[in-house]
Amino acid sequence: GTYPLPEAQLDRFMFNLWVDYPTLKEEQQIVKNTTSAATQGVSKVLNAQQIATLQDLIRRVPVADNVVEYAVKLVRKTRPASDEAPKFVKDYVSWGCGPRASQYLILGAKTRAALHGRPTPEIDDVRAVALPVLRHRLVPNFTAEADGIKTEHLVEKLLAEK
């Protein structure tokens, strides 16, 4: 089985991605592949040096000050004790996102821009990676849990603000 990680360990993961259940055919193939005597070969796609080179490339992507400002302000709004936090954050969040969230928003935005063939990220790139970067870093309070408010809803509401 798996056990939930404490917040301090969750913060070390850049993204929290959700993977849906496989389709019927996919699941049947999974069962066949993993319960037979046949072995599945795995081929290397990238070596360690290539991965390090790609990471370095992304870190070299320039980012405009207004994009960094947007990312940092978005993260600061998740902190209930902050003056920048909207009322719904103060009402539903016991612990907001730390500086690592801002770093990952920018790294994710840089990566997205590069994957889309653009030389520098835009605010829309930050917004596009915000949910998987922020949702596992927000800690809802008891009121949020009692009201059925999920962290995804809180992030979406933050993104909807002007």
Number of domains in the chain: 1
- Note whether residue 107 is domain-resident: yes
Q: Tell me, what's the pLDDT at 34? A: 82
- Note whether residue 16 is domain-resident: no
Beta strands of the chain (E only): which ranges? 93-95, 139-140
**41-68: average pLDDT:** 92
Q: Tell me, what's the pLDDT at 35? A: 82
The pLDDT tens digits for 81-99 are: 999 999 999 999 999 999 9
Alpha-carbon dihedral 76, 148, 162, 122, rounded to 10 degrees:
70
The model's pTM is 0.82
The Cα 30–Cα 142 span in angstroms is: 39
CA 91 to chain centre: 23
The Cα 112–Cα 126 span in angstroms is: 9
- Note whether residue 68 is domain-resident: yes
- Note whether residue 39 is domain-resident: no
The pLDDT tens digits for 108-131 are: 999 999 999 999 999 999 999 999
Looking at the predicted structure, is the pLDDT value of residue 50 above 70?
A: yes
Give the CATH number of the domain where residue 99 resides: 1.10.8.80
Structural domain including 115 reads 63-160
